[in-house]
Amino acid sequence: MTKKVSSINPYNEKVINVYNLDTPSKIKSKLELADEVFIKWKEKEIIERTTLLSKVSNLLEKRIDYLSELITLEMGKPINESIAEINKCIFLCNFYAVNAETFLADDIIETDANESFISYDPLGVILAIMPWNYPFWQVFRFAVPTLTSGNTVLLKHASNVSGCAIAIQEIFEDAGYPKGCFQILLTDHKVIGNLLKDDIIKAVSLTGSEKAGRHIAKIAGENLKKSVLELGGNNACIVLDDANLDAYLDIMVKSRMQNTGQSCIAAKRFIVTKGIYDEFIGKFTKKVKNLKFGNPIEKHTEIATMAREDLALKLEKQVNDAIAKGAKVIMGNKRDKAYFAPTILTKVTEDMTVFNEETFGPVAPIFKVNNLEEGLKLATNSKFGLGTMLFTENIEDARRVISKIPDGAFFINEMVKSDPRLPFGGTNASGFGRELSLEGIREFVNIKTVYINN
């Protein structure tokens, strides 16, 4: 009997579609095709690959209404955010279409040789394991630079966004990429673990949980495969006494509640100095209460259900742990199936799971500290290292603490976010390696030294 997987709308629980999982023989055929196509694809001139990128960009623009609606139906993101996600993918394609040739050009190095340089050669077939929360962006920010550097790609997407996975493959093929350059695998994670051991797979990129990252990193390490891991986050948002709440409060709310809080780079711990604490609580709570809940397909909706009921149940458990240990609920803490009401907690302490674990949903724990030094100590007390944000009018003081933030990103007066022009990634339990920018396109290449004497 053929195994199947269903795509279910989290808002109304209706089945959107049912997909047959790939058989072992089909997966083997896809693997062999990716390897076969790589031989010819790697020989293409970069200008040919960047021309195809421009075609992908055009297709995304033409299909934006359909694609954004597909995202919203499958994982519940408010439609305006889904549209923004597709637009970000367009920006990404255009960025690499312009810059990839420069990023991958040989670097001439003066040595004792008549000629010496560094070349950047593709590795081969790269496996990607991607999550559901940004079903297009997460895939594109990996696939675009990886394909453009001359590799071929196999994608295992989250099962609840299988429709998005299929649509992405169609875009690459319709743009003119050779069949086999980008293929999706409809299968489960047990199969993926074994697939990673195959000699055809040269490297793996995973965006997901810390647990998944450790599992994949172990298999990759045992088989000497390069890996890039973008894992969980527990980002701190430090708000100092001189912060301009009128200018930046909307950003702070968005940094926690965007995508119904389901983002690795969301602000998950608000650390507020005592001089502005009460004002912050009042204004932040008012803003969150005014968020419009509703059907995510409607344009006025700002926050919706979570992507699955099990995710809401886990979040509820984390909040209840905090309450049992003395946290105070300012608002929220109500759940109905996959819906979890935006929740604000105060009197939070470092022994609570909402401090130590990643809360993947619309929950904002708020801590009071005396000054920046205490705030930094609290912010850096985490096994994660994805990003930190700091809100203050004293930019010089903020600059002086950059080296004290061990994370992959430090944003001043802005929420942590990914941008094609800047490298993105974390440290410690948030993973390793970088996506995007120059660093991202060079993750899955052989950095080859060439030395020539006449």
387-437 residue pLDDT tens: 999 999 999 999 999 999 999 999 999 999 999 999 999 999 999 999 999
User: Is residue 283 one of the residues assigned to a domain?
Assistant: yes
Q: Within this chain, do residues 209 and 326 fall inside the same structural domain, yes or no? A: no
User: Is residue 419 one of the residues assigned to a domain?
Assistant: no
Burial label, 135 (beta-carbon count in 10 A; 0-12, 13-18, 19+): buried
User: Is residue 245 one of the residues assigned to a domain?
Assistant: yes
DSSP lists the bridge partners of residue 270 as 237, 366
Burial label, 14 (beta-carbon count in 10 A; 0-12, 13-18, 19+): exposed
pLDDT of 3-22, one tens digit each? 999 999 999 999 999 999 99
Please report the pLDDT score of residue 189 as a whole number.
84
User: Is residue 418 one of the residues assigned to a domain?
Assistant: no
Name the residue with tokens 């209404």: 65
pLDDT score of 322 more than 90: yes
pLDDT score of 1 more than 90: no
Using alpha carbons, select from 203, 184, 180 the residue that is nearest to residue 42.
180
- The 10 Å Cβ neighbour count of residue 102 is 9
- Asked if 129 and 212 touch (Cβ cutoff 8 Å), the reply is yes
Number of domains in the chain: 2
- Give the C-alpha distances (Å, rounded to integers) separating 96 from 298, 419, 424: 33, 12, 15
Please report the pLDDT score of residue 289 as a whole number.
98
Using alpha carbons, select from 382, 387, 384 the residue that is nearest to residue 422.
387
Burial label, 94 (beta-carbon count in 10 A; 0-12, 13-18, 19+): middle
Residue 230: active-site member? yes
Q: Within this chain, do residues 169 and 77 fall inside the same structural domain, yes or no? A: yes
Both tokens of 387, joined, read 């990003």
Q: Which residues of 395-430 are buried (b: 16+ CB within 10 A; e: fewer)?
A: eeebeebeeebebbbbbbbebbbbebeebbbbbbbb
CATH assignment of the domain containing 382? 3.40.309.10
CA distance 186 to 282: 47
Model pTM greater than 0.95? yes
pLDDT of 144-160, one tens digit each? 999 999 999 999 999 99
Q: Within this chain, do residues 299 and 444 fall inside the same structural domain, yes or no? A: no
**Percent residues over pLDDT 90 in the chain:** 99
CA distance 13 to 33: 37
pLDDT of 209-256, one tens digit each? 999 999 999 999 999 999 999 999 999 999 999 999 999 999 999 999
Please report the pLDDT score of residue 2 as a whole number.
80
Q: Within this chain, do residues 57 and 201 fall inside the same structural domain, yes or no? A: yes
Q: What is the mean pLDDT of residues 357-377?
A: 98
Instruction: Sort strands 201-207 and 267-273 into parallel, antiparallel or unpaired.
Output: unpaired
Catalytic pick from 74, 85, 230, 357? 230
**Percent residues over pLDDT 70 in the chain:** 100
Q: Within this chain, do residues 320 and 404 fall inside the same structural domain, yes or no? A: yes
User: Is residue 363 one of the residues assigned to a domain?
Assistant: yes
Please report the pLDDT score of residue 312 as a whole number.
98
CA distance 285 to 147: 44
Q: What is the mean pLDDT of residues 117-131?
A: 98
CATH assignment of the domain containing 190? 3.40.605.10
**Sheet holding 107-108: strands in order across?**
107-108, 115-122, 445-452
Please report the pLDDT score of residue 352 as a whole number.
98
Mean pLDDT for all residues in the chain: 97
CA distance 160 to 18: 10
Q: Within this chain, do residues 189 and 326 fall inside the same structural domain, yes or no? A: no
Contacts of 434 (CB under 8 A, 6+ apart): 228, 408, 423, 424, 425, 440, 443
Please report the pLDDT score of residue 190 as a whole number.
85
Q: Within this chain, do residues 372 and 272 fall inside the same structural domain, yes or no? A: yes
Q: Within this chain, do residues 83 and 187 fall inside the same structural domain, yes or no? A: yes
Looking at this protein, which amino acid is placed at residue 398?
Answer: A
Q: Within this chain, do residues 378 and 252 fall inside the same structural domain, yes or no? A: yes
pLDDT of 35-87, one tens digit each? 999 999 999 999 999 999 999 999 999 999 999 999 999 999 999 999 999 99
Q: Which domain holds residue 292?
A: 235-412
Please report the pLDDT score of residue 147 as a whole number.
98
CA distance 368 to 378: 10
Name the band, by pLDDT with cuts 50, 70 and 90, for residue 199. very high
pLDDT score of 118 more than 80: yes
